[in-house]
Amino acid sequence: MADQIEVRFANQVDLDGCIALDHPTMSAEVIKRKIEQREIIVAEKAGRLVGYLRIEYLWSIVPYIALIWVVEDQRREGIGRAMLRYLENVLREQGHTALYSSSQANELEPQAWHRHVGFEECGFIAGINEGGIGEIFFRKSLRRQ
């Protein structure tokens, strides 16, 4: 039988795993604080963290996926979608009506994934990334169809 995937908010026991999965410029202190604030979701499979999702809130109000990452050997197994669904359910319960996300303009795969799971393109910031690469923004409605 395939190992079950458990999706949940990260806790302090996950700190080292979260540091390993997040961007190298993120300090342990910031990650620790974000865990406390329930702004990091993880997917665990057979005791291993295989998925990571970090949230920010634009103007401290509007939910935005700052980073979603599934370990390479576990992609296309539904883990990204499972973390997204978990986040959407939490946000809906809190009364949010939209979720934002983004992707570098030169990364076509994550853009295709966002569209596939229901995001629509809603904006662009030119030159915000290293090398002058732009960032494409996406929005997904959380209203039930």
Ligand X SMILES: CC(C)(COP(=O)(O)OP(=O)(O)OC[C@H]1O[C@@H](n2cnc3c(N)ncnc32)[C@H](O)[C@@H]1OP(=O)(O)O)[C@@H](O)C(=O)NCCC(=O)NCCS
Contacts to ligand X by CB under 6 A: 67-70, 75-81, 103, 107, 109-110, 112-113, 116-117
Task: Give the nearer residue to ligand X in terms of CB position, either 17 or 110.
Answer: 110
For the bound state, the minimum distance from the C-beta of residue 15 to ligand X, rounded and expressed in Å, comes to 20
Task: Give the nearer residue to ligand X in terms of CB position, either 62 or 74.
Answer: 74
- Residues facing residue 64 across a β-bridge: 56, 100
Task: Give the nearer residue to ligand X in terms of CB position, either 35 or 55.
Answer: 55
Task: Give the nearer residue to ligand X in terms of CB position, either 28 or 112.
Answer: 112
For the bound state, the minimum distance from the C-beta of residue 83 to ligand X, rounded and expressed in Å, comes to 8
Closest CA to 123 of 142, 108, 103: 103
Strand order in the sheet with 62-70: 5-9, 40-45, 48-58, 62-70, 98-104, 135-141, 120-125
Contact, 118 vs 98, CB < 8 A? no
Q: Identity (one letter) of the amino acid at 16? A: D
State the residue for tokens 């169809």: 145
For the bound state, the minimum distance from the C-beta of residue 69 to ligand X, rounded and expressed in Å, comes to 5
Residue nearest to ligand X (CB): 80
Contact, 49 vs 14, CB < 8 A? yes
For the bound state, the minimum distance from the C-beta of residue 21 to ligand X, rounded and expressed in Å, comes to 10
